[in-house]
A and B are shown apart, each in its own frame.
Chain A
Amino acid sequence: MPFDLPFLAESFVALLRGIPLTLQLTVLSVVAGGILAFGLAFMRISRRWWLDAPARFYILVFRGTPLLVQIYIIYYGLSQFPVLRNSVLWPFLREAYWCAMLALAFNTAAYSAEIIRGGLLSVPAGHVEAARACGMSGFLLFRRIVMPLALRQMLPGYSNEIILMVKSTALASTITLLEITGIAAKLISESYRPVEIFVCAGAIYLAINFLVARLFAWLEYAVSPETRKPEERRA
């Protein structure tokens, strides 16, 4: 198959228009899911069974079922209930955009909660004791000691999760959203040239994920100054 450069360039430009939507879905659902994940992580480490059990169940369900099922339940499934169709929420739940966002946020919350929990549990007990000995407690202790250490610990795991989320936004194309994959599928049905278009789309996703990985590598470097060698630290 001869490679047709003008066609390649043309479909590349068309696919670029999908980037804003892909990024929007990723960023908003990661932020919303992150907030939910913090709540879940605190429930998990609360040592109270009536907080721990629901969080455990939530995480089990959302990690144990495919994201596609979750998207379909929210987008197609909820319309089965007349109560919901007549409620104030319907203008939102009718839109594929908000349904995809909701499903992605719920999904990432389950995975992120475990990452955050791991980070929180990795804070050495000695640090917390030392802080208590200095008279810190409650929120101050959390803000100054626990959170900075936990955040740093969970950065690598969280970067994986965000890369997975970038890839997961492709599923939004199955409920009519025209992000990168959606545009790609549309272009194929018009031109019948799958290989070129998918190579372009794949390259765009790779570039986004490469940038995300670099960003997190930089972030990890920036928040761990004491692990660097002295000469690097001065720079």
Chain B
Amino acid sequence: MNTLGLMSFGPDGWGYSMLAATGTTVAVAACGFFVGALLGCLGAAASLSRLRVLRLVADFYTTVLRGIPDLLVIYLFYFGSSSVISTASALFGAEGFVGAPAFLTGALAIGVVSGAYQMQVFRGAVLALSKGEIEAGRAYGMPSLLLFRRIVLPQAARFAIPGIGNVWQLVLKESALISVIGLVELMRQAQIGSGSTRQPFSFYLTAGALYLLITLVSGLVFRFAEKQAMRGIRRGV
């Protein structure tokens, strides 16, 4: 059977399963991305704080997580949490290895990794704010939180969009690694399909094309978002 026949939506086709798996990929990537955004915000706040301890912790976090392979982090999360769960379930009489839920561990793992990257993006965005605006806000008597909400956040969010778009693309591709812990996302579905039909090239090519499609569409979304956010901003160059 040729590739198109193989990927049809008929009873013998793999079209539906591949599309469903694409949905899982987007879902797990989005969850990881949001966990990362949360961690990134916390990290950026810590790295910009006046407390030395917080700055050191944030620095350590971003250095380590950006310095070790993502695959290692995913393995660590999966095996680490599985061994905790296995120990706990042994107390209740279960035997042997109990796997951690793959979606949750996968999303958390890429969340922790992408948080390290997002932290740098947010930090850069806040630092890109002109000092005068913050001083002006203070001169008006705005308390810190109000200043953050009205002055810092709207502008920093705008500066952060291009960098965040890059991180999203990274997360999307990273999500393929979650296949190693058994979550049936696009990559894993392609493995299953190629295993049962012995047509690996067709399946991986399709998976690649679907990844490319998600990348292209999300690239368009981010370009649109940037355009929207940059309305009314005078460009220097």
Contact call B201/A181, Cβ cutoff below 8 A:
no
Interface set of B (CB-CB < 8 Å, partner A)? 63-64, 67-72, 75-76, 79-80, 82-83, 97, 172-177, 179-180, 187, 190-191, 194, 198-205, 207-208, 211-212, 215-216
User: In the complex the two chains form, what is the Cα distance from A188 to B75 in whole Å?
Assistant: 10
Contact call B208/A73, Cβ cutoff below 8 A:
yes
User: In the complex the two chains form, what is the Cα distance from A72 to B64 in whole Å?
Assistant: 28
> Closest approach, in angstroms, between the C-beta of B161 and any C-beta of chain A?
19
Q: Is A185 part of the binding interface, using a Cβ–Cβ cutoff of 8 Å?
A: yes
Known pairs A76-B194, A185-B75, A194-B83; A69 contacts B208 (CB<8 A): yes
Closest B residue, CB atoms, query A170: B69
Contact call B212/A64, Cβ cutoff below 8 A:
yes
User: In the complex the two chains form, what is the Cα distance from A206 to B62 in whole Å?
Assistant: 12
User: In the complex the two chains form, what is the Cα distance from A57 to B97 in whole Å?
Assistant: 45
> Closest approach, in angstroms, between the C-beta of B147 and any C-beta of chain A?
33
Q: Is A56 part of the binding interface, using a Cβ–Cβ cutoff of 8 Å?
A: no
Give which listed residue, B64, B180, B201, B204, contacts A202 with CB less than 8 A: B64
Per DSSP, are chain B's interface residues mostly helix, strand or loop, or mixed?
A: helix
B residues near A206, Cβ cutoff 8 Å: 63-64, 67-68
Most chain A C-beta atoms within 10 Å of own C-beta, residue among B67, B75, B97, B208: B67
A residues near B198, Cβ cutoff 8 Å: 80
Q: Is A79 part of the binding interface, using a Cβ–Cβ cutoff of 8 Å?
A: yes
Interface set of A (CB-CB < 8 Å, partner B)? 60-61, 64-70, 72-73, 76-81, 163, 167-171, 173-174, 181, 184-185, 188, 192-195, 198, 201-202, 205-206, 209-210
Closest B residue, CB atoms, query A169: B69
Q: Which 7 A-B pairs give the minimum distances between C-beta atoms?
A: A194-B79, A170-B69, A77-B201, A66-B176, A76-B200, A80-B201, A66-B173
Contact call A69/B68, Cβ cutoff below 8 A:
no
User: In the complex the two chains form, what is the Cα distance from A201 to B73 in whole Å?
Assistant: 10
Closest B residue, CB atoms, query A202: B68
Closest A residue, CB atoms, query B176: A66
Closest B residue, CB atoms, query A213: B67
Contact call A198/B69, Cβ cutoff below 8 A:
no
Closest B residue, CB atoms, query A198: B76
Known pairs A69-B176, A77-B205, A174-B180; A205 contacts B187 (CB<8 A): no
User: In the complex the two chains form, what is the Cα distance from A72 to B180 in whole Å?
Assistant: 13
Contact call B200/A79, Cβ cutoff below 8 A:
yes
B residues near A168, Cβ cutoff 8 Å: 69
User: In the complex the two chains form, what is the Cα distance from A210 to B67 in whole Å?
Assistant: 8
Contact call B208/A205, Cβ cutoff below 8 A:
no
Contact call A205/B200, Cβ cutoff below 8 A:
no
B residues near A73, Cβ cutoff 8 Å: 200-201, 204-205, 208
- A–B complex contacts, Cβ < 8 Å, 27 sampled: A65-B212, A65-B215, A66-B174, A66-B211, A68-B179, A72-B204, A73-B200, A73-B204, A76-B201, A77-B201, A77-B204, A78-B201, A167-B68, A167-B69, A167-B70, A170-B70, A170-B71, A170-B72, A184-B75, A192-B97, A195-B80, A198-B75, A201-B68, A202-B76, A205-B67, A206-B64, A209-B67
